[in-house]
Amino acid sequence: MSIAPKRVACRGRPSRRRSPARHDGGVSLVELMVALAVGAVVVLGLTEILANTNATYAREQAFARLQENGRIASMLLAKEMRPMRSTDCKSIAMHQEQGSLTVKACDLLEGGCTLGNRDYLSIHRALGYDQSEDLTNAAKLSDLPAAAAANVADRYVGGDVLVAWGIDPHGMAVSAGLGSDGTEPIELVAAMGLEADDLALISNCQYAHVFEVSDPDNGPTTTIHHAGDVNAVSHLRAEAAYKGTAPYNQRAADPRAVVYPLVYRVFYVCCVQDGSLQTGSRRDNCRPSEYGAAAPEGYRPALCMYDRGRGSGRSEVVVPNVADMRLTYSGDANADGALDYSGESAAKIATDAKWASVRSAAVELLLATEEENAARTPSAPTQSDWPPSDDATDRLGAAYPADDRLYQRFRFDVALRAATPWALWE
């Protein structure tokens, strides 16, 4: 029988086991490129999100400022228009339709008291002017006082012009007569805060005069010295006209005459550059349609106001970034209490001599953001129905080309106090 040989382990030779593979040299080039590509995609995505977020924030901020400016401009103009052409007991329209009152305004209007009917503030004077005319020519603003026409024409950029005048409702009763020759001061029952060169109106619902305050004494009672021109006119110098009781007063003991502050203001679109109001040729930066492409960094259209409250008056910026303004009017031409026309421009009203019948006005404002790139895509602000017109150049925003700014239209209607009695007891 055979015996199988035994296997004897070889002590000197190591076992030849296969060990797992090891990567001692780092990542491969392919892995690196993949990682960089993924990282780049992530970074680009985050950058895009950040850019969109910043753009959205900037756009919302610009739009918020635009809306705030639009609300301020709308409230301001509505406030100024509501008491338009108003005097003491009733509106001037009610008085003049009944032949019961005329308002002499030698100190407000040009030429002293030598121009006949042009010395009177009346319902026949223009409430506004149409942008279709060259309003940089003061002669086109013929119903304004000469100083006002020159001031506005030198600063006007575009859009329609609004004229607002009427009394401040906070008046003060006259405590004594004016004397027989008009040289004595007007005495009031209490102080009312008038200052030198302010305009004031004295009225007893039969006579009314606008005068310029020359030397007020605002003590417990007030004496108002009035300018010399007004002393020379009839009615104001007559003691009998402004003392005693008035037939329009509620009680027989009420004073016959009341003095009110008078406001006379003109609103229009002007040009602001580096915080200052531009005049003459420097307004060209605000006229993109006539002088080349729009340059938002070069012009800031704004709503300006000429105020005749002190002395010869001056213009100032009241609301920034108001790019355009349109006014249309509605009225009662035959005095039957019903509106006979609506949506007519200042030029049409003037041509048809219908200022006396105007009862309400619609105001359209175009507001713009200061910077470009606020809108996602460039667009022109004008639309075919702003306002309805066969003339495309007469539409709101027609002067502005397409750009990347945000634009918004604000529209409101105001019923003028042109035919409404003030005195509830009438």
At 65-108, the pLDDT tens digits run 888 999 999 999 999 988 787 776 656 655 555 555 667 777 67
Residue 421 has pLDDT above 70, yes or no: no
Residue 130 burial (10 A CB sphere; 0-12, 13-18, 19+): buried
Q: Which residues contact 357 (CB under 8 A, 6 or more apart)?
A: 331, 332, 333, 335, 340
Query: For residue 370, what are its two tokens?
Result: 């200061």
Across the range 229-253, mean pLDDT stands at 46
Residue 53 has pLDDT above 80, yes or no: no
Greatest mean pLDDT range, 6-15, 195-204, 211-220: 195-204
Report which of 330, 351, 343, 357 is spatially closest to residue 91, judged by C-alpha positions.
357
pLDDT for the residue numbered 36 = 84
How far apart CA 241 and CA 226 sit, in angstroms, is 16
| Average pLDDT of the chain, as a whole number | 75
How far apart CA 70 and CA 156 sit, in angstroms, is 20
How far apart CA 327 and CA 130 sit, in angstroms, is 8
Q: Which residues contact 36 (CB under 8 A, 6 or more apart)?
A: none
pLDDT for the residue numbered 291 = 45
Q: Which residues contact 155 (CB under 8 A, 6 or more apart)?
A: 268, 270, 271, 277, 278, 279, 283, 304, 315
Q: What is the pLDDT of residues 295-327, one digit of tens each?
A: 545 568 899 999 987 667 889 999 999 989 999
pLDDT for the residue numbered 412 = 93
Across the range 245-250, mean pLDDT stands at 46
**What's the pLDDT band for 401 if we cut at 50, 70, 90?**
confident
Residue 136 has pLDDT above 60, yes or no: yes
| Residue the block writes with tokens 């020379």 | 232
Residue 184 has pLDDT above 70, yes or no: no
DSSP state of 202: E
How far apart CA 141 and CA 153 sit, in angstroms, is 8
Residue 231 has pLDDT above 60, yes or no: no
Residue 269 has pLDDT above 80, yes or no: yes
Compare 287 and 10 and report the one with higher pLDDT: 287
- Bridge-based pairing of strands 208-218 and 103-104 is parallel
Report which of 424, 363, 364, 376 is spatially closest to residue 402, judged by C-alpha positions.
376
How far apart CA 250 and CA 267 sit, in angstroms, is 36
Could you tell me the CA-to-CA distances from 209 to 146, 215, 278, 399 in Å, in that order? 19, 18, 35, 42
Query: What percent of the chain has a predicted confidence (pLDDT) above 70?
Result: 64
pLDDT for the residue numbered 11 = 55
Burial readout 135-167 (b: 16 or more C-beta within 10 A, e: otherwise): bbebebbebbbebbbebbbbbbbbbbbbbbbbb
What is the dihedral angle through the alpha carbons of 335, 338, 342, 348, rounded to the nearest 10 degrees?
A: -10
pLDDT for the residue numbered 233 = 41
Domain ranges in the chain are 58-85+127-165+263-415
Across the range 114-125, mean pLDDT stands at 70
Cα-Cα-Cα-Cα dihedral sign, residues 280, 285, 290, 291: positive
Across the range 267-276, mean pLDDT stands at 88
Compare 381 and 230 and report the one with higher pLDDT: 381
Could you tell me the CA-to-CA distances from 249 to 121, 147, 242, 254, 423 in Å, in that order? 23, 37, 13, 6, 8
pLDDT for the residue numbered 236 = 47
Compare 271 and 118 and report the one with higher pLDDT: 271
Q: Residue 272 carries which side chain, given as an amino acid letter?
A: V
Could you tell me the CA-to-CA distances from 130 to 4, 236, 326, 385, 394 in Å, in that order? 128, 36, 8, 17, 9
pLDDT for the residue numbered 415 = 86
Query: What percent of the chain has a predicted confidence (pLDDT) above 90?
Result: 19
Cα-Cα-Cα-Cα dihedral sign, residues 124, 126, 132, 134: positive
pLDDT for the residue numbered 368 = 86
Q: What is the pLDDT of residues 19-43, one digit of tens each?
A: 555 555 567 878 788 888 888 888 8
pLDDT for the residue numbered 388 = 61
Compare 233 and 407 and report the one with higher pLDDT: 407
Across the range 373-393, mean pLDDT stands at 67
**What's the pLDDT band for 217 if we cut at 50, 70, 90?**
confident
How far apart CA 13 and CA 188 sit, in angstroms, is 130
Which residues share a beta bridge with 172? 259
